[in-house]
C-alpha cells in the first residue's frame, strides 16, 4: 500500500494547487448562459499578460499543446510552404513530424540533443533565402526532453537582420508562465502553451496567442482546418463564448491559477523558478552528474535532464523512486531513454519540494548503482537556498 503524499516531479502535468482544484469543483454550468462571458472575457485579457502581449489574440482550444501546434500551423500557412525548424530533442522532433505530415516543406537543422535552437545557422539560412521562400521559423523555447532553453530573441534578431518576413512560431509549452517570455518584444507571431504546465491546471486546453500579422495571414491561408479554425473561435470568443463545448471546470481553474500568478507577480514566479532550478542544479553538481544541456546559458529553469553514469540505467532510478518512494521523476525520452532522468521543477513548487526530489533521487540513484555520498545533493541545494535567502534579506535591509 502507498502511504503519504505522492510526489510529482515531472515537467508536466504539474502539481495543481489546492485552491485551483477547489475552484474546479463546481456543478456543471450552461456555457451559453448570458453571464458566461463574464468569466471567459477576463481570462483572455489576463492570459495576454502571461504571454506579455498587448496586440496578440489569445485563443483556447479544448485539447493540449499539440493541438495548439496544429492550430497555429493550419491557420497561418499554405500547403507546401517552406518552413525552417530545428531538431534538438523529442518535442522539437515531434513538431517537425507534424509539420511534415501536414504537408509543409520542412527545412530541418539537426543539432545535438542538449544544444539550443541554432540561431547562427538560422541566420545564415535566412540570409541565403533571397527569394523569401521560408514562410515561417519555428523555435521550441524550452525543450522539455533535454532541459534546454533557447534564445527566441536571438532568432527574432536573425529575422530582422535579414529583413525577413517569415512568421516566428514559438513552442512555449514548458516556458510560458514560468520562464521569461516576451511575445510582443520578441516579435513572436504564434506562441503556444498548454494548461498543464506553468498554468498549474490539468491537461485539456491548448492555448495560443497570435500576433496581428498571424491573424492577417489566417484570413488567406489555405491549409485545411475545421475544428481549429481561428475565424470560428475568434468570432465566438468576442462575446466570451466558444464554437463548441468548452471545458468549463478548467476555465474556472484557470481563473484561479491566473489570480495566483497575479498575486505572486509574474516576475516573482519567474525568479522563483530560477531559484529552485539553481538549487536542483547545485544538487546535481554535488552528485558529480552532468546535465544534458550543453552549456549553462542553456539551462532550463523548469526541468533538469540529468545523465546517469554509463553503467546505471536511468529507468531503474525512476522505477525505484516510483515504486518505493511514491515519487514520479521524469523519464528520458526517445534516444535518451535509460540514459537520463528528469526532475521537473515547474509550476506550484517550493524549496522543500525540490529538496524532497533531490533526496529521493539520491537514494534511487545509489540503489541503482551510482556512487555518491548520501545527502550531498540535498546539502548543496540547501546551501544554495540559504545563500539566496541571506542575499534577499541583505537586499531588503
The whole-angstrom separation of Cα 215 and Cα 223 is: 14
The residue among 14 and 53 lying less far from ligand PLP, judged by its C-beta, is 14
Residue 93 touching ligand PLP (CB under 6 A): no
User: For residue 4, what is the DSSP state?
Assistant: S
Q: How far is the CB of 200 from ligand PLP (least distance, A)?
A: 14
The residue among 141 and 282 lying less far from ligand PLP, judged by its C-beta, is 141
DSSP, residue by residue, 154-205:
HHHHHHHHTT---EEEEE-TTTBTTB---TTTTT-SEEEEETTSTT---S-E
Residues 101-140 that bind ligand PLP (CB under 6 A): 140
Q: Which of 12, 118, 177, 253 binds ligand PLP (CB under 6 A)?
A: 12
Residue 256 touching ligand PLP (CB under 6 A): no
The position carrying cell 518535442 is: 91
The residue among 283 and 330 lying less far from ligand PLP, judged by its C-beta, is 330
For the record, the C-alpha cell of 311 comes out as 553503467
The residue among 126 and 209 lying less far from ligand PLP, judged by its C-beta, is 209
Q: Which of 9, 36, 61, 91 binds ligand PLP (CB under 6 A)?
A: 91
* Position closest to ligand PLP via CB: 65
Query: With contact defined as beta carbons under 8 Å apart, do 151 and 97 qualify?
Result: no
Residues 175-194 that bind ligand PLP (CB under 6 A): 194
Burial 228-240 (b: 16+ CB within 10 A, else e): bbbeebbeebeeb
Site string for ligand PLP, 38-77 (x = CB under 6 A): --------------------------xxx-----------
The whole-angstrom separation of Cα 360 and Cα 350 is: 16
Q: How far is the CB of 105 from ligand PLP (least distance, A)?
A: 22
The residue among 47 and 380 lying less far from ligand PLP, judged by its C-beta, is 47
Strands (DSSP E) contained in 231-360 are: 303-307, 327-331, 340-344
Residue 19 touching ligand PLP (CB under 6 A): no
Residues 140-159 that bind ligand PLP (CB under 6 A): 140, 142, 144
Residue 278 touching ligand PLP (CB under 6 A): no
- Per DSSP bridges, beta strands 142-143 and 148-149 are antiparallel
Q: Which stretch binds ligand PLP (CB under 6 A): 70-78, 166-174, 334-342, 367-375?
A: 166-174
Query: With contact defined as beta carbons under 8 Å apart, do 248 and 31 qualify?
Result: yes
The whole-angstrom separation of Cα 326 and Cα 303 is: 20
What residues make contact with ligand PLP under the rule CB under 6 A? 12, 64-66, 91, 140, 142, 144, 171, 173-174, 194, 203
Amino acid at each position: 500500500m502507498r502511504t503519504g503524499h505522492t510526489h510529482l516531479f515531472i515537467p508536466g502535468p504539474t502539481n495543481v494547487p489546492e485552491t485551483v482544484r477547489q475552484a474546479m469543483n463546481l456543478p456543471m454550468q450552461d456555457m451559453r448562459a448570458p453571464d458566461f462571458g463574464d468569466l471567459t472575457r477576463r481570462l483572455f485579457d489576463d492570459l495576454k499578460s502571461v504571454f506579455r502581449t498587448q496586440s496578440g489574440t489569445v485563443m483556447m482550444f479544448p485539447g493540449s499543446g499539440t493541438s495548439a501546434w496544429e492550430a497555429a500551423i493550419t491557420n497561418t500557412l499554405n500547403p507546401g510552404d517552406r518552413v525552417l525548424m530545428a531538431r534538438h530533442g523529442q518535442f522539437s522532433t515531434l513538431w517537425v513530424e507534424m509539420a511534415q505530415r501536414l504537408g509543409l516543406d520542412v527545412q530541418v537543422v539537426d543539432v545535438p540533443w542538449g544544444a539550443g535552437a541554432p540561431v547562427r545557422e538560422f541566420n545564415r539560412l535566412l540570409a541565403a533565402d533571397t527569394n523569401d521562400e521560408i514562410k515561417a521559423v519555428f523555435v521550441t523555447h524550452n525543450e522539455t526532453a533535454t532541459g534546454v532553453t533557447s534564445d527566441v530573441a536571438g532568432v527574432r534578431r536573425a529575422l530582422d537582420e535579414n529583413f525577413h518576413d517569415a512568421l516566428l512560431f514559438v513552442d512555449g509549452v514548458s516556458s510560458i508562465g514560468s520562464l521569461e517570455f516576451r511575445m510582443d518584444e520578441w516579435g513572436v507571431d504564434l506562441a503556444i502553451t498548454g494548461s498543464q504546465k506553468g498554468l498549474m491546471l490539468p491537461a485539456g486546453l491548448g492555448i495560443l496567442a497570435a500576433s496581428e500579422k498571424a491573424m492577417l495571414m489566417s484570413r488567406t491561408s489555405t491549409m485545411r482546418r475545421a475544428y481549429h479554425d481561428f475565424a470560428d473561435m475568434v468570432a465566438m470568443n468576442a462575446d466570451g463564448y466558444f464554437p463548441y463545448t468548452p471545458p468549463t471546470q478548467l476555465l474556472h481553474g484557470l481563473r484561479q491559477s491566473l489570480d495566483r500568478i497575479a498575486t505572486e507577480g509574474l516576475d516573482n514566479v519567474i525568479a522563483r523558478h530560477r531559484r529552485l532550478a539553481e538549487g536542483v542544479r547545485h544538487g546535481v553538481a554535488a552528485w558529480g552528474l552532468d546535465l544534458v544541456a550543453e552549456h549553462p546559458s542553456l539551462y532550463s529553469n523548469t526541468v533538469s535532464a540529468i545523465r546517469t553514469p554509463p553503467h546505471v540505467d536511468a529507468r531503474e532510478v525512476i522505477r525505484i523512486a516510483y515504486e518505493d518512494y511514491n515519487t514520479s521523476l521524469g523519464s528520458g525520452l526517445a534516444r535518451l531513454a535509460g540514459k537520463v532522468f528528469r526532475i521537473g521543477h515547474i509550476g506550484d513548487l517550493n524549496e522543500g519540494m525540490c529538496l524532497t526530489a533531490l533526496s529521493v533521487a539520491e537514494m534511487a540513484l545509489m540503489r541503482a548503482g551510482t556512487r555518491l555520498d548520501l545527502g550531498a545533493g540535498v546539502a548543496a541545494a540547501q546551501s544554495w537556498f540559504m545563500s539566496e535567502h541571506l542575499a534577499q534579506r541583505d537586499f531588503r535591509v
